[in-house]
Copies of this chain bind each other. A is one copy, B any other.
Amino acid sequence: MAKWQQRRSFWTWGYESDEPSDAERKAMAKQVSQRLGREVVPPPVPAIDQIELRAPRLKVPDAMPWVSSEHAERVLHTHGGHSLELLAGLRGEFPEPPDAVAHPRTEDELEATLAWCDTHRYAAIPYGGGTTVVWGVSVPESADAAVTIDLDHLSQVLEIDEISRAVRVQAGMLGPDLEDALRPAGLTLRHFPQSFPWSTVGGWVATRSGGHYATNHTHIDDFVESTRMLTPAGWWESRRLPGSGAGPSPDRLVIGSEGILGIISECWLRVQKRPKFRATAGVVFSSWETAYTATRHIVQAKLWPANLRLLDPLEARQAAGLDGAQALLIIGFESSDVPQDAFMREAVGIARDHGGAIDDADIRIDDGSGKATGREGAVGAWRNAFIGVNAGTTNGLGLLNDTFETAVTWDHWPEFDAHVRAEVGRALNDTLGAGHTLSCRFTHVYPDGPAPYYSFGGVVPLGSELALWREIKAAAVEAVVGAGGTVTHHHAVGRLHAEGWAKQRPALFGEVLRAAKRTLDPNGILNPGVLLDEGN
Chain A residues close to B by CB (< 8 Å): 161, 163-166, 207-210, 216, 219, 225, 231, 233-250, 252-258, 270, 272-273, 296, 300-304, 335-338, 342, 346, 350, 407-411, 444, 446-451, 484-493, 497, 501, 504-509, 511-513, 515-516, 518-520, 531
Tell me if B258 and A247 are in contact (CB < 8 A). Answer: yes
- Which residue of the partner chain, among B165, B487, B501, B515, contacts A518 with CB atoms under 8 Å? B515
A408 to B225, CA, bound (A): 11
Tell me if B337 and A450 are in contact (CB < 8 A). Answer: no
- Which residue of the partner chain, among B219, B225, B247, B350, contacts A513 with CB atoms under 8 Å? B247
Q: Which residue of B lies closest to A343 (CB)?
A: B338
Tell me if B512 and A164 are in contact (CB < 8 A). Answer: no
Tell me if A164 and B449 are in contact (CB < 8 A). Answer: yes
CB distance from A232 to the nearest CB of B (A): 10
CB distance from A111 to the nearest CB of B (A): 15
A258 to B245, CA, bound (A): 11
Tell me if B508 and A234 are in contact (CB < 8 A). Answer: yes
Contacts of A520 in B (CB 8 A): 508, 511-512
Tell me if A301 and B411 are in contact (CB < 8 A). Answer: no
A161 to B411, CA, bound (A): 7
Of A233, A338, A444, A487, the most chain B CB neighbours within 10 A belong to: A338
- Which residue of the partner chain, among B335, B486, B487, B508, contacts A519 with CB atoms under 8 Å? B508
Tell me if B247 and A493 are in contact (CB < 8 A). Answer: yes
CB distance from A303 to the nearest CB of B (A): 6
Tell me if B165 and A505 are in contact (CB < 8 A). Answer: no
Tell me if A237 and B449 are in contact (CB < 8 A). Answer: no
A301-B336 in contact given A240-B409, A512-B516 (Cβ < 8 Å): yes
A411-B493 in contact given A338-B303, A505-B238 (Cβ < 8 Å): no
- Which residue of the partner chain, among B350, B488, B509, contacts A250 with CB atoms under 8 Å? B509
Tell me if B245 and A207 are in contact (CB < 8 A). Answer: yes
- Which residue of the partner chain, among B208, B239, B244, B408, contacts A242 with CB atoms under 8 Å? B408
- Which residue of the partner chain, among B231, B408, B488, B508, contacts A246 with CB atoms under 8 Å? B488
Of A243, A336, A446, A447, the most chain B CB neighbours within 10 A belong to: A243
Q: Which residue of B lies closest to A508 (CB)?
A: B236
A104 to B335, CA, bound (A): 51
A346 to B337, CA, bound (A): 9
CB distance from A72 to the nearest CB of B (A): 32
Tell me if B300 and A245 are in contact (CB < 8 A). Answer: no
A450 to B233, CA, bound (A): 34
Of A233, A256, A450, A516, the most chain B CB neighbours within 10 A belong to: A516
- Which residue of the partner chain, among B242, B254, B410, B505, contacts A449 with CB atoms under 8 Å? B242
Tell me if B338 and A245 are in contact (CB < 8 A). Answer: no
A337 to B256, CA, bound (A): 35
Of A210, A258, A342, A447, the most chain B CB neighbours within 10 A belong to: A447
Known: A246-B486, A247-B513. 9 other contacts (CB 8 A): A242-B410, A242-B446, A242-B447, A242-B451, A245-B488, A246-B504, A253-B253, A273-B300, A508-B520
Contacts of A272 in B (CB 8 A): 300, 302, 447
Of A225, A407, A448, the most chain B CB neighbours within 10 A belong to: A448
Of A209, A258, A490, A515, the most chain B CB neighbours within 10 A belong to: A515
Contacts of A448 in B (CB 8 A): 164-166, 225, 242, 270
A447 to B336, CA, bound (A): 13
A86 to B506, CA, bound (A): 39
A501-B350 in contact given A163-B411, A234-B508, A241-B486 (Cβ < 8 Å): no
A445 to B53, CA, bound (A): 55
A164 to B410, CA, bound (A): 5
Tell me if A243 and B446 are in contact (CB < 8 A). Answer: yes
A451-B243 in contact given A216-B216, A411-B164 (Cβ < 8 Å): yes
Contacts of A449 in B (CB 8 A): 164, 241-243
Tell me if B509 and A253 are in contact (CB < 8 A). Answer: yes
A509 to B487, CA, bound (A): 27
Tell me if A242 and B409 are in contact (CB < 8 A). Answer: yes
A400 to B509, CA, bound (A): 44
Contacts of A505 in B (CB 8 A): 238-239, 246-247, 250
A484 to B241, CA, bound (A): 8
Q: Which residue of B lies closest to A228 (CB)?
A: B506
Contacts of A492 in B (CB 8 A): 245-246
Tell me if A450 and B509 are in contact (CB < 8 A). Answer: no
Can you give 15 A-B contacts (C-beta < 8 A)?
A: A161-B409, A161-B410, A207-B245, A208-B245, A210-B245, A219-B245, A233-B511, A239-B484, A241-B485, A243-B444, A243-B451, A246-B487, A246-B501, A252-B253, A508-B520
